[in-house]
Amino acid sequence: MTALTDGLGLRTGLRWKLSAAIALVGALVAIALSLVVHNAARVSMLDNARDLADERIQIAQRNFDLYQKPNFPNIKVDDPTLPPALRAKVEQGRRATYVTDRPGGVPDIWAAVPVKDGRVLSLHTGFTDRSTDILNDLDQALVIGSIAVVLGGSALGVLIGGQFSRRLRKAAAAAGEVAKGESNVRVRDAIGGVVRDETDDLASAVDAMADTLRQRLEAERRVTADIAHELRTPVTGLLTAAELLPPGRPTELVLDRARAMRNLVEDVLEVARLDGASERAELQDLLLGEFVARRVAAKDPEIEIRVVHESEVTTDPRRLERVLFNLLANAARHGRPPIQVTVEGRVIRVRDHGPGFPEHLLAEGPSRFRTGSADRAGHGHGLGLTIAAGQARVLGARLTFRNVRPAGAPDHVPAEGAVAVLWLPEHAPTNTGSYPMLP
């Protein structure tokens, strides 16, 4: 059943599950109590009827002994329809009563007693209409009461479950904000409420876990930033010293590696700053298509640029340029020409015609110091797209990645290129703490 539910993707709220559970328990309890009450009432009425029949047969027995004939209503002598079980008791010299059921379920009351000459004096009466009406009224009351219990339990379950559900939804929303990097959000404060229950324990545990993870990440970020900062001075000195070496192939190799090390240190410092969530965009109004075309043409005239629809945006031009150049550098390093840049409204697309992005990047996003598959091994440090994603986050933008495949082609067919798409926000990213840059 669980597999079927998972396969169908069914999802129900806590309030409905709790309501269904309470309604089911209430229905079971109501049915059980109704059966017990019905049987107890029926047995009590039958016992009263048997006692009454026993009293009547005793009176009939005394009258028969006096007058030698049955002179009491419904009294018979040696009734052939007398139940065999009752006849057997009477033949043993005992007075007894017996209950049988008619085809319609209405009970018959029998009473018998032995008299002189081995004969049997018996009394046969049915269940009175008044008793039947009382039992029917009782059954009707039990049914109505059971329905009321089920409906009341369902309503109570909806109310209680709704409260739990609201608290859990608030906790989930607050946890989502924490996952997005909002350091001031506390799950315990978000759920609120006066009554303390297990959701408060869960919220406190999530807050404690978030604090611990935040402290560890901050410690790692500080260590990374400190190491990169300390490396900046000796790397700069190494590059300066290498530039003083005499011209030649060894000097070129040393300069190339020194520049690569300097770029790596700068990238690590930038990643550390972005991880600190303290970066703020300096916003300006600009025409996106014109801005992208001018910057891309200045970087590489061979890149194809197409502006489908011009749009005015409010963003940080320096950070936007950083994202754009990192995407172009990644396409040039790992892809194949032609590289195409398309601007459509607030959306920028950068496409190459190489082997495509690795699967882990499509599934998890950019990861630092992870360059991907064998096709991309040995090139770069995996920081370019990480920095691009971090700068996009500061801009309030969204950066997505996908591979281009022929229409209808299965996943194992090689990609025909990689596409990185930057979605700029409609409004200035004030939620990140950005501020407009005054002219």
Provide the pLDDT for residue 275: 66
pLDDT confidence band for 2 (50 / 70 / 90): very low
Tokens matching residue 417: 């290129």
- pLDDT attached to residue 274: 64
Backbone φ and ψ of 115, nearest 5°: -125, -170
* Beta bridge mates, 63: none
Domain end among 225, 250, 278: 278
> What is the model's pLDDT at position 1?
42
Mean pLDDT value of segment 268-284: 70
pLDDT digits 0-9 by tens, 398-408: 888 888 877 66
What's the chain's average pLDDT?
A: 76
Segments forming the whole domain that contains residue 214? 201-278
240/330 same-domain check: no
Rounded CA separation 317/40 (Å): 86
Q: How confident is the model at residue 8 (pLDDT cuts 50, 70, 90)?
A: very low
8-state DSSP, 128: P
28 and 118: one domain? yes
Percent of the chain clearing pLDDT 90 (strictly above)? 0
Average pLDDT over residues 76-81: 80
Residues 248 and 294 in one domain: no
Does residue 430 share a domain with residue 299?
yes
Domain end (from 278, 310, 342): 278
Mean pLDDT, residues 287-315 taken together? 88
CB 164 within 8 A of CB 18: yes
Asked if the model's pLDDT at residue 289 lies above 70, the reply is yes
Task: Summarize pLDDT for 82-106 with one digit per residue, the tens.
Answer: 888 888 888 787 888 888 777 666 7
Q: Are residues 254 and 320 in the same domain?
A: no
* Residue among 46, 29, 74 at smallest CA distance from 134: 46
User: Is the pLDDT at 115 greater than 50, yes or no?
Assistant: yes
Tens of pLDDT, residue by residue over 184-234, are 777 777 777 666 667 777 777 877 887 787 777 666 666 666 666 666 677
Question: CA of 138: how far to CAs of 6, 37, 92, 198, 405, in Å?
Answer: 45, 9, 39, 43, 73
| Residue 413 Cα distances to 115, 358, 360, 394, 417, angstroms | 104, 13, 17, 36, 12
CATH number at residue 302: 3.30.565.10
Grouping H, G, I as helix, E, B as strand and the rest as coil, residue 418 is: strand
Query: pLDDT band at 380, cuts 50/70/90?
Result: low
Has residue 255 been placed in a domain?
Answer: yes
H or E segment to which residue 217 belongs: helix 198-243
Most confident of 8-22, 330-344, 421-435: 330-344
Mean pLDDT of 423-428: 80
Residue 166 lies in a domain: no
Residues 37 and 86 in one domain: yes
- pLDDT top residue among 105 and 302: 302
Q: Is the pLDDT of residue 437 over 60?
A: no
What helix, strand, coil percent values describe the chain, rounded to 5? Answer: 60, 15, 30
Residue 153 pLDDT > 60: yes
The answer to whether position 165 is within a domain reads: no
Which one, of 58, 76, 59, 65, lies nearest residue 121 by Cα?
76
pLDDT band at 149 (very low <50, low <70, confident <90, very high): confident
Residue 191 lies in a domain: no
pLDDT of res. 377: 41
Q: Is the pLDDT of residue 269 over 80?
A: no
